[in-house]
Structure 1
């Protein structure tokens, strides 16, 4: 009975909304913060939590694209079109392989991998809090080097996406900004365009492997938490500027590290 309450649609929405709000304030979807909630609060095993988190991520990406459709300008994206395609190619292939890996490896090993990845993302948020807003591109101005690097970055992002069930914006945006010299707004648009096929492939692969056979998980957890995440993200987008982004990244990075250790260290 207690387990049913912990997985109620209302509770899923209530957890999804503030996570989406915080993610919206720093320009992310918040999936990395949902995973400890799905595993710790809602009691899902790591493998199922990853699959459900990925399904929620797909909802948030599609919603973000629909919300931004009226103001979305593809003009700044054109100069990064080749880089985006290369990253998509690497990410989609890695996501397909990564989902299969999630279903094959031992649950305890998966938990350890999740712990390490969440710790890395938490540390990256903390480091990013102290970095300047604009930096020159770290990669040389060579089309070949940039395309090869984009494929490799895409592979890494696709693996992280499939292993954590995230859209990958927490990795895609800094990569585009610091490695390729994109401005933050353009990187945000590119992140959505790169994440959509990556996450869609992961969700489709999970579905074929039977991750969503229990329909109650979709109606009681995925749909309401996805709705809450969207509502929170919209509110966070409207409130951007009210809180210092660097301080938020620092605080959220620490929270993510502490949550990951508490939930996945055993």
Structure 2
């Protein structure tokens, strides 16, 4: 009876991982995020992973969503449009790669309680970015130009890289407002440019996490990772197809509310 019960529990966990991965992947593909902002509270609250383990699992899932969401969005934003803005991508990466490496280093040194509190504060900040940073829906003038824009882009990239590693997120929720206001990018183009910046940024953070023993959580939970990854891929595809169908005026306030609730739960987490 014990083996049957254990088998049923494993099956239930796999289904839950696939289902949550699908929902979160859809949100990520739709907005241009890795979906990790919503996945992190699920990993901690529902699946009971410790803070640093949840961050590493979160980053692995986000990598899958980001890598797949970019080509899934090409029907709306072709690769040629992204390539035309290679200088913007390079500008942000100049800061985000270093920030991702340092952020991962800090995360492995923090106590769990401190990391939970930082996570909660950053989730609130991301909720505000979603509400106010996605408000522009047309291409406008860049906030700065010339050397000031370059230095501002690298500085913003550094801060976003740190946040991405601390939470295990792709950073799109911060990259998109930066691209819209600092570089004057159209909101849909900004979503795809954010994905292009997020992928190498997350790889830099992952490279640092591999030096820490907590990275073993991926090997210890291979089945869980596989099913959530499959759900994330399915969701990323669905989100890419829904791009332009679901309006931001409906979606973004709902997502921001979810993040605020999640932040409160993580703050109180033990």
Question: How high is the TM-score relative to the length of structure 1?
Answer: 0.89
2:160 corresponds to 1:157: yes
Taking a change above 3 Å as real, the CA distance of residues 126 and 187 of structure 1, as seen in their structure-2 partners, is closer
Corresponding residue number in structure 1 for 2:170: 167
Matched residues in 1 for 2:97 and 2:221: separation?
24
Contact 2:104/2:165, CA 8 A, preserved across alignment:
yes
Matched residues in 1 for 2:228 and 2:79: separation?
30
Q: Identify the match of residue 49 of structure 2 among 44, 49, 53.
A: 44
Corresponding residue number in structure 1 for 2:67: 62
| Structure 1 alignment gaps of length 5 or more | none
Contact 2:144/2:182, CA 8 A, preserved across alignment:
no
2:238 corresponds to 1:240: no
Matched residues in 1 for 2:102 and 2:206: separation?
12
Corresponding residue number in structure 2 for 1:114: 119
Q: Which digits, 9 at most, give the CA deviation of each residue in 1:131-187, with x for residues without a partner?
A: 241252342232x11110110010011011001101111111121012110112332
* 1:85-234 equivalence runs, <5 A: 85-128=90-133, 131-134=135-138, 136-142=140-146, 144-234=147-237
Partner SS for 1:133: coil
Partner SS for 1:212: helix
Contact 2:30/2:243, CA 8 A, preserved across alignment:
yes
Matched residues in 2 for 1:76 and 1:206: separation?
33
Question: How much does 1:100 deviate?
Answer: 0.8
Contact 2:28/2:65, CA 8 A, preserved across alignment:
no
Question: How much does 1:72 deviate?
Answer: 6.4
Corresponding residue number in structure 2 for 1:81: 86
Taking a change above 3 Å as real, the CA distance of residues 245 and 66 of structure 1, as seen in their structure-2 partners, is closer
| Structure 2 alignment gaps of length 5 or more | 1-5
Matched residues in 1 for 2:267 and 2:84: separation?
41
Question: How much does 1:20 deviate?
Answer: 1.5
Structure 1, 27-36 or 210-219: larger mean CA deviation: 210-219
Taking a change above 3 Å as real, the CA distance of residues 156 and 227 of structure 1, as seen in their structure-2 partners, is same
Taking a change above 3 Å as real, the CA distance of residues 203 and 63 of structure 1, as seen in their structure-2 partners, is same
Contact 2:104/2:209, CA 8 A, preserved across alignment:
yes
Alpha carbon RMSD of aligned pairs, Å?
2.4
Q: Identify the match of residue 25 of structure 2 among 20, 26, 31.
A: 20
Structure 1, 44-53 or 79-88: larger mean CA deviation: 79-88
